[in-house]
Structure formats: C-alpha cells, structure tokens
Amino acid sequence: MLGVSVFHCGVLMLCWTGLCVALHVSHGQQMDPSLTGDHHTVSSTETADSLEILNTEHAFPSGKTASTVSHHVAHNAPCFVDDVLATLREGVLNGGELTNSSLTLFGICTVYDNSSCSALIELAKESKRNLGNGLKVLHPTGVLVAEEDGREMLQLTFDLPQSPLLKMKPVLLLTFEGPLKVGDLDITFTSQSLQPHTQSVCISGQTQYILLTGKAPEADIQQKWRISAEAKSPDMKQNLKDILIGGKSGSNVSMSPLLLFSGETGSDTRYTHVSGSSPASSQTFSFLCELKRFLGGILPQDLPESPPLQLDSLKSLPPLALSLSSSEALLAGLINSSAPTIFSFASWGSMSRVHHGELALSPALLEELRQRLQQTVMQIMQVIREEEMDHRAAEMLQRLQDLSVFPRKEPAPGASQYRAFLLLKALQTVARAYELQGGLRATRADPSNPVRRNTCGLRSLHVSFERRFVSPEAHDIQNCHGSCAFPMFNPVNHAVLVNSHIENENVDERAPCCAPVAYEGLQVAEFREHGAYISVKPDMVAMECGCR
C-alpha cells in the first residue's frame, strides 16, 4: 500500500451565488480572521491550478492506510460553481416538485429520503431566489481518501469564516466533472458530521452529484469531516474506490467536494469583502458565466460538423481595450453595429474574479445603449417564442438583464454599463444568427428566387471555431454557389465579355464564377487576465454574390 499522503488545497474557495474566488493559502496558514459573511465580495488575484501533494504521518491514526488522490480538481474551471448553481436553479424542480431525473442526478435513492429531498428542494429554491441570495459555498482546504477497517474513508477539512449562514444546516455535495462509467451502485456513508449519521445514496451513469446532509457546525473554526463509505455489495468495492479517487489511470472523472449553506436573511449576503475586490467584479464574473451558458443554449444547435478553426490564424485589426478609456467613437460604432460578436474565453483560466470591467458612456450614448438593448431583448423573446425554446432560455435572459440593469435617473455604474454593452453584443449575435437562418429558409421556399433555379446566390456555410473556449462555437459565414451562364446574376462587364467569348466556341478560357463580392466582418470579444478586448476579423461573412 502507498504511504499516507494528503492533498492540501493551494487555495480556499469562497463562493457566493454570482461569485467564486480563490484565496491563496499555504500549508498551515489560517484564513484572514477579518472576513465576514454579511456583505460585499470575496476575490483573489490568482486561481488554483492544482492540488499540492503533502506527505503526513498523522492524518489518520497509526496503522491506517491512505490512497493517493490522483485527480485534478474540477473547481479550477472558471465557471465550475456557477454551473453547479445553475443546475440547482434550472434542472431540479418541475412545478415545485422534484423530478425522477433530479433524484438520479443527485444520487438520491427515493422520494421518501426526506432529509436529502428537503435539502435539495431548499437549495434549488435558494439558488433560484434572487440569484442565490443567502446561499454560500465552501471548498475544502484538504482532501484525503484512505482505507480503514476495510472501508473507504473520506476526510475533508473546511475553514469556516464568520457568517450567520454557517449556523444553518449544511449540505455536502460530492461533484463529478465527467460521467461515472459504473453500473448501478448503492453506497452507505457514515459520519458524526452527517445528520442523520448514516445515509444511503444510489449511483448510476446519470449521477453527477452525491448529496449528503450535515449538521450545523459548533464553531467558526477549522473542521474535519471524517466520512466512511461502504458499498452495499462487496463486488462493487473497486467501483466505490474509483469514484472517490478518480478512477483508473487516464480516467477523466474528477470528484470535488462542496459544502453549501442555505438560509434566508434580511439583507443581501451573497458577497464577502476582501481588499482588492468589489461586488461589481463578482457580478461581472457571474454575468460572463451566465452569458456563456446562455449563448450555448439559445443559438441554433443542428449545425453540420466541421474541423474547428483557430481564431488566431485569421487576419485581425488591432485589438482595442474595453475600459474606462475606450473612445466614445469606438463604443458608438460597436453599439450601432449589428455585426455578430464571437466571445473568446481562451485565456479565461488565468483570469481571476477581480476582473474589473467598466465603461464610461456619455448620457446620450448610454440612452442609445438602453434603447437598443430593450429592442433587442424584445426581438430575442420573439425568437424564443417562435422557436418554442425551453422556458430556461427566457429565465437565463431575465437573469442577464438583472445583472446588467442600471438606473435611469442616477449615474449608471461603470460595471453595469460594461455588462449591458456585452449583453447587447451577445443578443445582436443571436438575432443575426436567426435572421440568417430565417432568410435562407425563405430563399429555399421562394420558387422565383435565383437559388431555386441553381443560379448564382448565397448558400449557408457553417464553420466551427476552437471548441470549449469560444461562444458561439460555430457561425454561418455563407458562401456563393450556382451557375453563371447567361443571363448572369450581378455580373461585371468583364464576366459578360468572357461569357460571350466562350459562347462563341472559345472554350479555352475560364468561365465566369459565382463568388462573394461583398463581405462583413466578425467582432471578437476576448477576455484576458487584465480585461476585455474587442477586435475585428474583416471579410469573414459573405453578404453578396456576383459572377466574376
């Protein structure tokens, strides 16, 4: 057996709904005692990249053995906690009731598991209520998987800051980054930190979380949760070990524990303040996570597959920073442009939650932004109705509006202007995608259209961009196809003369071709460590065809 090893987190992640930030904590170092859980924002200047492996001889009593936990931690993904909260908010309740798929998703065996079901319902309602007001999420500072008396042991260490919410009964979520490739598995968890002390979970290939209900902590101090896990069927013991330590070599399954506290309060307790951070920056980060999720869900999905292209390989105009120093002319041009925008998150992994995005628009341009945003929201709501999209699309759009609203009579905060601007560009992109889709549908349906007669005209051509880091992942750049025989479509004189020459039996010349004669650029919003930048990739979308 391997010697005793323990994983110690390089960071302590404190996450409110709309905020997940890392505080760098070295081994044995305590958290800043000045933290309070009553207001403002938690943030940091660096994000965890990995767990540090530390050798200890006293993590468990003498004679016990511990297994090395080889998986990486899923919460390194920038939107990890935001996505967990979105799952709670959007996919748990149907008409206020738990669905069977929800029970499977969270490892709950039956609807009669009162403690687990009640906790899940409360978490779902809390995450939906005012973007999770009152919901707090903690990551452990230490994780150890060991074997003791033939059972698997999970030891989690939490540093609990001062907060009224921490008096509430917590819920432990063991979250999985990838699908669990195991058969049906029944597990019993036992611990003095759980309430009730023994709880059963039922796992299948559709399970993404294990939900365990705990008891309220006795003090705002470091706490160690020692939980034993035992498979009810002895032949499933190896599957249980694979789940806890990430599976066999090469497995992409990764388990990350989260401790959630839920409770209504009289004021907004989503944010905890640390020097160098602000509520606005945390809202901006959550806004970007929600925006990425919204674009991935609302844009047309039935697109042909194509090899992904790297945006960096395309010619681009120099990038311009989106900041307080952005020129009025630049912002006015972008606000009034309907050109699609690609949102690139390729460098997002290094961007911390202190991303300070602000704009300073003049009152006139601010009013223009407000009006255009209002018009575009109405346009997208119409698209949602016409395409008969799931109700979650409208709910996500409403949350994005809530995160980017600014007052009419008072000076609008710079961060709100920034989020409203990005929302406008995203909605313009969605509107444009459905306009192109609708236009091509109409073209194919019109018998008098040149395309129906196989003459030169625009056709749809979808290309894919670098997946996972770009939204939208695909775009219709259109292309020109069709015949340029007489009578030609939109020809230049040279094409007319060449065609006449060929018709007089001079067949050794190149015949006129159907080709794009007008283009539109694509705007790229790139989020980097120190801010956002807008650049234009010129001549990306074919807008008009002609015989040349």
Indicate whether 418 and 366 sit together in one domain: yes
Dihedral over Cα of 110, 113, 119, 121: its sign: positive
Dihedrals phi, psi of 143, to nearest 5 degrees: -135, 130
Instruction: Kindly tell me if the per-residue pLDDT of 510 is higher than 80.
Output: yes
Q: Is the peptide bond before 472 cis (omega within 30 degrees of 0)?
A: yes
Q: Where in the sequence is the domain holding 506, given as residue range(s)?
A: 452-547
Domain membership of residue 331 (yes or no) is no
Beta carbons within 8 Å of 294's beta carbon, 6+ residues apart = 393, 396, 397, 400, 426
Q: How confident is the model at residue 38 (pLDDT cuts 50, 70, 90)?
A: very low
Indicate whether 127 and 178 sit together in one domain: yes
Instruction: Kindly tell me if the per-residue pLDDT of 61 is higher than 80.
Output: no
Average pLDDT, the chain: 75
Q: Is the peptide bond before 487 cis (omega within 30 degrees of 0)?
A: yes
Domain membership of residue 514 (yes or no) is yes
Beta carbons within 8 Å of 73's beta carbon, 6+ residues apart = 9, 48, 50, 51, 254, 256
| Per-residue pLDDT tens over the stretch 79-101 | 888 888 888 888 888 877 888 89
Domain membership of residue 430 (yes or no) is yes
Q: Cα(312)–Cα(93) distance, rounded to whole angstroms? A: 42
**Residue 412: its pLDDT value, please?**
81
Residue 140 has which token pair? 């452990």
CATH number for the domain that contains residue 480: 2.10.90.10
Q: How confident is the model at residue 455 (pLDDT cuts 50, 70, 90)?
A: confident
Amino acid identity of residue 257, one-letter, is P
Statement: the pTM of the whole predicted model exceeds 0.95: no
Domain membership of residue 380 (yes or no) is yes
| Per-residue pLDDT tens over the stretch 112-131 | 888 999 999 988 888 877 66
Contacts from 105-111 at CB under 8 Å and sequence distance 24+? 105/206, 105/207, 105/208, 105/209, 106/207, 106/208, 106/209, 106/210, 106/211, 107/201, 107/202, 107/203, 107/207, 107/209, 107/210, 107/211, 108/201, 108/202, 108/211, 109/186, 109/200, 109/201, 109/202
| Half-sphere CA count of 422, side-chain side, radius 13 A | 34
Residue 1, classed as helix, strand or coil, is coil
Indicate whether 476 and 517 sit together in one domain: yes
- Find which of 28-32, 141-145, 162-166, 512-516 is predicted with most confidence, using mean pLDDT: 512-516
pLDDT greater at residue 37 or residue 66: 66
8 A C-beta contact, residue 535 and residue 520: no
Final residue of a structural domain among 409, 444, 479:
444
Domain count, the chain: 3
Q: Which of 69-83, 146-160, 374-388, 463-477 has the lowest mean pLDDT?
A: 69-83
Q: Cα(170)–Cα(309) distance, rounded to whole angstroms? A: 45
Indicate whether 542 and 418 sit together in one domain: no
Residue positions counted in the chain? 548
Domain membership of residue 342 (yes or no) is no
**Residue 41: its pLDDT value, please?**
27
Indicate whether 410 and 469 sit together in one domain: no
Q: Which of 272-281, 474-483, 536-545 has the lowest mean pLDDT?
A: 272-281
